[in-house]
Amino acid sequence: MQTDRDQMNKTNRIPNSSPSSEQNRTRPIIITIEHAGLRYLIVNGLGVSRFSSIVQQYEWLNGSQYKSIELVKSDWVATRKSPPSAIDYWGFGAIKLNENFQQYEWLIGSQYNPIELAKSNWVAIRKPPPCAIDSWGLEPILAGPSSIIMSHAVNDVCLENPYRNLVMDAMGVGDAFCNDNVSSPVVAGEIPNPEATKFFNLLKAAEEPLWDGCTKQSKLSACVQLLNMKSNLNLTQNAFNNFIDFTKSCMPNDENLVSNFYDAKKFMRPLGLGYEKYDVCPNYCMLYYGEDAMKINCDFCGSSRYKPRNPTSKGSNKAEKQLRYFPLTPRLQRLFMSPYHAKDMTWHHFHNSDNGVMVHPSDGEAWKEFNRVHLSFASDPRNIRLGLCTDGFCPFDMSSNTYSCWPVIVTVYNLPPWKCMTRPFMFLTMMIPGPKNPGKKLDVFLRPLIDELKNLWSVGVETYDVYRKENFQLRAALMWTISDFPAYGMLSGWSTHGNLSCPYCMEHSKAFRLKNGGKTTFFDCHRRFLPMNHPYRFQSDKFLKGVIEMLPPLPRPSGLEMLNEVSMYTEGHNGGSSYNDKIPGFGVKHNWVKKSIFWELPYWHTNLIRHNLDVMHVEKNVFDNIFYTVMDCPNRSKDNLKARLDIQLYCQKPNLHLQQDMSGRVYKPKGTYCLHKKQQQEVLSWMKELSFPDGYASSISRCVKEAQCKVSGMKSHDCHVFIQRLLPTAFRPYLPRPLWEALTELSVFFRDICSTNLNAQHMELMQMNIIEIICKLERIFPPSFFDSMEHLTIHLPYEAKVGGPVQYRWMYPFERYMFYLKKKVTNKAKVEGSICEAYLIDEITNFASHYFGDDVQTIWNRVPRNDDGGLRSVEYQSNGIENQLFGLAMGPSTSVKCYNGYYVNGFKFHTQRYGRFKKTMNSGVCVKGSCYDDDERDYYGMLKEVVRLKYLGSKCKLFMFKCNWYDTKRGIRVHPSNGLVEIKHTSRLHGNEDFVLAQQCQQVYYTYPPGNKSSEWWTVIKTTARSRYNVDMGEFIEDANNVRSFDVDQSDEISQPSLVLPTQTLDDPNILVESSHYEEIGQHELIQLDINWGNKDDEAEEDGDGEEEEEEEEEEEEDDDDDDEDDCYGGDG
C-alpha cells in the first residue's frame, strides 16, 4: 500500500515534460488535500476526486462528465461516461483507448495522427507533415526537414482576476485553475489540511469584495497594496495603523479590510518565504546548527547559549545572539514561478555579443571557462549563476557608535542588464548580528548558506518554469564574491594587511615596511611587470636606489594551486580558539589566516575569479592619496616629514631631502606636485562653483570648507566623478606638464576600466598602460604614497577581462542596498530583527506588485528621474507611418510653442536663461558628428530655446532645440593623448543652422580652469544618461516598459584606450622640487620625529620578519560608509 501511495505522490506535481526520464514526463497538475485519513485530488480543473479503496483510482465526488481517473501505463487519463470508451489526455482532446493500452485514436478531427507511447513518453505524430513528432509541453523531440515547430508563448495569464494569478504563482500552482472556480474546496463536508486551507483562504480573499457592492478592490488586493505603500514610502507602523483606521471610518460597516499592520502581515504571510533563526555563541565560536542544534554550551569557549534568567520566571530561554537566515532555494524557484521573470532567466544564453564587446558577465572569460569545464551545468541555461557580497554598516545615525551588523547579499547574474544588480533581484540571505565585526569567524555564519549552495550544485531542486510550462532540475553556482579589501580577507582567508597583502602577488610580493613611516609600501613593485627590455627596468636612480629590475612578471596562481597551498594549513572554519592562532610562516611565507569555507564548494577551484577587487573602493582610495597629497592637506598628505626621511633612505632624490642650515634649523623643500596656499584656495573656489547636470552627481561644493581651506565628506561617487572627469582640469594650471600628464593618464585609465561596454581586445592594452602609469607615479611621489590600493590597480584589467564590466562586480549597488536596509530599522533595540521583518514585506510586495493595475505605483513602474514618457519605445513599435507621412505632407503650423525645459534621451535640459540661477547646469548640448578622424567632429553648444512644432492634418508634434553652437574649427581643441576637449565659448559657428532635433542631442557640461574664471577656453565633460543600456535594440524594446534601473554611476559607454608611452621628461632632477620655496620645520615636530641627523645617509633596512599584527594597517583603506549617506548621486534612490 505504501508503494502505491508513493506512486500516487509522484503524480502530485506541476507538469514536467523532460523526455529523458519517466519522472520528468508531462503530467496533469494535481493538488492533494488530506483529511481524516482520506486523500482528495483537484485534477487540472476537472473537479474534485477522492482516493477509493481500489489502489491508483479516484472517484469523482460531484457530478462530472467523467467516470474515473486512472493511472494507465504510468500516465493519468480520465474516462468519459459517454461514450464509455472515450478517454481524455489532458488538454489535447478526446481519444479512444485500444485494447492493448499502447495506442489511442482521436474521436474528433485533429491535426495529429494516433498518439503512441514511445520510449516511456507519449508523443503524437502530426498529419502534415508525417515526420514531425510532438512531445507534450516541449518543442519537437524528433523533426524532419519540413517539420512544424510547436511554439509556446509566455504563460497566458488569466486577466479576469490578477490577484488569483498572484496566489497561484506564489504557491507554485501556475495557471492550472484559471478558468475554474476553486476558491473553496468541495469535499463533502471534509475540512482541508492547514496548508491547503491557507491556499483556499487566499483564493477566497482574492474574490471577496472589500464590501458588498465594491467592484474595484478585494480583501487581498487592498491588503497587498497597503503593504506596498508602506514598503515604498517607508511608513512607520503607527502611520500605517492610523491610515487604516481613517480608511475604515470612511467605508461601510460591512467592510473586510484588515485592522492593523499585525493583521495585514499575518494575513499575507502565506505568500512570503520566511526565514530561519539559528543561535550563535556570543563569542562567534560556533553556530547551533545541524548536529549542534541541541547543545547548550559552546564547544570551544564554554559560553552559555542562552541569556541568564530568573529560575522562577516563566517563558522560554532567550539566546545570547541569533543569526537570521533566509533560505536561498525557494527564492530562486520563485524567479521561475513568475511569468514576468521566467523568460529573462535565460537572457544570458541567447544574448550575443559582437566583436568581443563585453556588456554582461556572460561575455567574460570566467563565465565561458566555467561552461567549458562544467558541461552538465551549462547544458541548461536556466541554471543560475550567483554573486555574493557582504559588508558591515552602522544602523544608527550616531557616527560615534561602533555597532556594526553584516548583511550577506546574493545577486543573480542570469538576468539582462536592466534587471541585473537591481534591488528586487538582490536577495538578503542572512543578517549577521552585531555589535562587532565577525572578522575571521565569518565562516561560522556562512555554514547554512554553503550547505545550501552545495546541495544546489550536486542535487538541485525540482522547479516549475512557468514560461516553458515544465519542470526541471534547477541548479546554481556561486561565481565570485564582492567586497571591500578588508572583507576580501575575511572571505578569502588571505589577510589583506602587511607586506604580503596582495592576493595576486601573494608570497612573491616585494612590498616592505618603511623605516620612518612605519607602514607597508609597494614602492618599486611594478617594474617587474614591464617588458624585459623596457628602459625603466635599468634605471637604478629613479626608483629604489641602486636597484635594477631583472625579475620576470609574476604568473597568476590557478585555483587548484591555491587550494593545494591552503590545504597544507589548518582549516579555520570550525570556530574556536584556532581562529586566534597564527599559522606558522604567516607574514613571511604566506598570509593565510584560515582555509575559507568557500573551498568546500566542489567547483570553487575552477573559477577564474573567486573574490573581486572592488573598483569603487580602490578608485576612492587612490583619489584620496592623489588629492590630499597634491592639495598638501595636513595629516592626510603622503608627503609629510616621515615621507621625506624615507626618501633619503630609499630614493636617489637629493633635492627632496630635508635641509639643515648653519643655525641648525631644518627646512622641507616644496615639491612641485604640491600646491601653494593660493593655488589651493583657487581650486577650492573652483570646486565651490561647480555645477553639474541634473542627476549627474551630488553637489561637491557641500564638501568644500573655504574658510578652513579643506575638503571633507567626499563620498565614493564624488571621488568617482572627480578622478575620472575633473582631475585633469583641476590641476592642469598648476602642475608641471609631465606630472599632470601622468595623473591625466591615470584618470583616463579609470574612465576606460569603468566603461559599461568593454572590448576584450583592449584589456591587454589597459594592462600595459596601468603598469606604465604606476611606474611614472613612482618617479614622482614618495614611497609612502604607494599603499596596497595603488598596487591593486595593476590587477584590475585582468579581472575586467575575465569577469566582464565592473558594474556587475563593484560595491555601488550593494552600498545603496545597505543604505536602503538601514532605513528599515524601526526598533533600535532589535536592529537585525527589524530589518529582516521589513525585508519579508518587501519580498511579498515586490512579487505581488506585478499584478497591480497600472495606476498603482510600484517598484516596477516608478517613473525614472529624467523620463521622456517612453518615447523611444513608442517610436520603434509604432506602425502609423502613413498618418505621419500625411501630416508631414500638410506641413507644420505657423504657430509654435516654446518651453523652458525638456526631457529627452534620459536627460533633463533647461534653456540657458532659465537655468542661469540654478545649482545645476542643464543647458550644455552635444550632437554627434557624422565622421571622426584625428580631429573632434562633435558639435557643442548652449541651449537657447525649446520649440514645439505641430504638423497640420495629424497629431504629429516635433520638438527642436535652438542652440548657440561653438566654432568647430577655431573654437574646439582636443588633447591628442587623453582626448580632453576644450571649447572657446566666445566663438560662434557661422551660418543659420541653429536648430536641431531634440532626439539627436546628448548632454554635456562646461567648466572653466581653476584660478582663471575669465578664460576663453572651457573644458567639455560628457555625461551618460541614467537608465540607459547600450545593448541590442531588439532586446531593449521587448522589455522597454519594464526597464527600471537603479544604477546612477557616470561611466562611458565603451572603452577607448590609447597606448601610454614612457617619458624622458621626468629624468630632469629639478622637475620635482621648487628650489625657491622651503618650509621651515618646527622644533616640536623634530622632537616628535626624533630625527638623528648623524645617520641620515644610512641605507634602508627592510622589515623582513613580517610578524606584524593584522590590524595595524587597517587605515590603508578607509571605509567611507556610503550606506550612511543621503542620495549623493543626485538620484531618487
Residue 417 has a pLDDT of: 92
**CB within 8 A of 465, min separation 6: which ones?**
336, 342, 382, 471, 472
pLDDT more than 70, % of the chain: 72
Mean pLDDT of 1059-1084: 81
Whole-angstrom Cα distance, residue 772 to residue 788? 17
Q: List, in sequence order, the alpha helices (H) in 414-569.
A: 442-458, 485-492, 559-566
Distance (Å, whole) CA 458 – CA 377:
10
The helix (H) or strand (E) run that includes residue 727 is: helix 727-731
Let me know whether 241 and 198 are in one domain: yes
Q: What is the pLDDT of residue 1115?
A: 40
Whether residues 41 and 108 fall in one domain: yes
Residue 156 placed within a domain = no
Helices marked H in 157-293 — which ranges? Answer: 162-170, 194-207, 219-233, 237-249, 261-268
Whether 130 has a pLDDT exceeding 90, the answer reads no
Beta carbons of 599 and 482 less than 8 angstroms apart: no
Say whether both 830 and 927 belong to one domain.
no
Q: Which segment of 129-143, 611-625, 645-659, 914-928 scores lowest on mean pLDDT?
A: 129-143
Same domain? For 472 and 397 the reply is yes
529 backbone dihedrals φ, ψ, rounded to 5°: -90, -5
Average pLDDT over residues 714-740: 94
Residue 403: what pLDDT? 87
Choose from 19-33, 97-111, 591-605, 928-942 the range with maximum mean pLDDT.
591-605
Per-residue pLDDT tens for 1019-1030? 999 998 876 655
Residue 754 clears pLDDT 70, i.e. is over it: yes
Given a cut of 60, whether residue 998 has pLDDT beyond it is yes
**pLDDT in the model for residue 1013:** 87
698 within some domain: no
Confidence check: pLDDT of 872 > 70: no
Question: What is the structure's pLDDT at 624?
Answer: 96
How much is the pTM? 0.79
Asked if 335 and 401 sit in the same domain, the reply is yes
SS3 call for 1075:
strand
pLDDT band at 984 (very low <50, low <70, confident <90, very high): very high
Does the pLDDT at position 397 exceed 90? no
CA 329 – CA 503 distance, rounded (Å) = 32
Of residues 878 and 319, more confidence is placed in: 319
The answer to whether position 1062 is within a domain reads: no
Structure-model confidence comparison of residues 216 and 1084, the more confident one: 216
Q: What is the pLDDT of residue 1039?
A: 46
**Helices 219-233/261-268 angle, 10° precision:** 110
Shared-domain flag, residues 876 and 1020: yes
The dihedral of CA 809, 813, 816, 820: what is its sign? Answer: negative
For the cut 90, the answer to whether the pLDDT of residue 798 exceeds it is: yes
* The domain boundary residue, chosen from 1025, 1042, 1061: 1025
Q: Does 240 have pLDDT greater than 90?
A: yes
Go through 105-141 and write b for each residue having 16 or more CB atoms within 10 A of its CB, e for each that does not: ebbeebebeebebbeebbbbbbeeeeebbbbbbbebe
Q: Measured between alpha carbons, how far is 754 from 357 in angstroms, rounded to an integer? A: 14
Shared-domain flag, residues 130 and 8: yes
Residues 828 and 913 in one domain: no
**Alpha helices of 316-415 — where are they, by DSSP H?**
329-337, 347-350, 365-373, 375-378
Q: Quick one: cell of 29?
A: 497538475
Q: Where are the beta strands (DSSP E) in 951-1000?
A: 957-965, 972-974, 981-984, 995-997
- Max mean pLDDT among 249-258, 308-317, 597-606, 883-892 falls in 597-606
Q: Please give the helix or strand (H or E) that residue 33 lies within, else none.
A: strand 30-35
Q: Is 565 helix (H, G, I), strand (E, B) or coil?
A: helix
> Which structural domain range is residue 218 located in?
162-271
Of 245-254, 330-339, 390-399, 700-709, the one with minimum mean pLDDT is 390-399
In this structure, the answer to whether residues 88 and 130 fall within a common structural domain is: yes
Residue 818 is assigned to a structural domain of this protein: yes
Determine, yes or no, domain membership for 923: yes
Q: Tell me the pLDDT tens digit for each residue of 22-54.
A: 333 333 444 444 444 444 444 433 334 444 333
Q: Is the pLDDT of residue 574 over 80?
A: no
Provide the pLDDT for residue 42. Answer: 43
Q: Is 899:888 a contact under the CB 8 Å cutoff?
A: no
Query: Is the residue at 554 inside a domain?
Result: no
User: What's the confidence (pLDDT) of residue 1027?
Assistant: 61
User: What's the number of domains the chain is made of?
Assistant: 4
Angle of helix 219-233 relative to helix 831-848, nearest 10 degrees, comes to 130
pLDDT of residue 77: 55
Angle at the Cα of 1126 from the Cα atoms of 1010 and 864, rounded to 5 degrees: 90
Rg (CA), the chain: 34
pLDDT tens-digit series, residues 889-928: 666 777 788 999 999 988 999 999 999 888 899 999 999 8
Digit-coded pLDDT (tens) for 345-376: 999 999 887 778 999 999 999 999 999 999 99
pLDDT band, residue 1008 (cuts 50/70/90): very high
**Which is more confidently placed, 1130 or 686?**
686
- What is the reported pLDDT for 44? 39
Q: What angle do CA 1133, 1120, 907 make, to 5 degrees?
A: 35
Q: Which of 159-168, 226-235, 779-788 has the highest mean pLDDT?
A: 779-788
Please tell me whether residues 175 and 234 are part of one structural domain: yes
Give the three-state DSSP class for 488: helix
Length of the chain: 1133
Domain termination site, one of 962, 995, 1025: 1025
Per-residue pLDDT, 956: 76
497 lies in some domain: no
Give the whole-angstrom CA distance, residue 579 versus residue 437.
14
435 preceded by a cis bond (ω within 30 of 0): yes
DSSP string of 422-448, one letter each residue: SGGGEEEEEEE--SS--GGGHHHHHHH
Mean pLDDT in residue range 1074-1099: 66
Query: Of 803, 823, 851, which residue is a domain's last?
Result: 851
**Torsion over CA of 411, 413, 416 and 419, rounded to 10 degrees?**
0
Q: Name residues whose C-beta falls within 8 Å of residue 1020's C-beta, 6 or more positions apart in sequence.
A: 924, 926, 940, 981, 982, 983, 1004, 1006
Say yes or no to pLDDT of 1063 above 70: yes
Among the residue ranges 150-159, 428-437, 451-460, 516-525, the one predicted with the least confidence is 150-159
Q: Do 185 and 118 lie in a common domain? A: no
Q: pLDDT at residue 470 above 50?
A: yes
| Better pLDDT: 964 or 1090 | 964
Residues 6+ away with beta carbon under 8 Å from 86: 79, 80, 94, 95, 96, 107
Which range, 204-213, 310-319, 468-477, 572-581, has the best average confidence (pLDDT)? Answer: 468-477
Same domain, 173 and 25: no
Spell out the residues 6+ positions from residue 143 whose beta carbon is closer than 8 angstroms to its own: 131, 132, 133, 149
Q: 284 in a domain, yes or no?
A: no
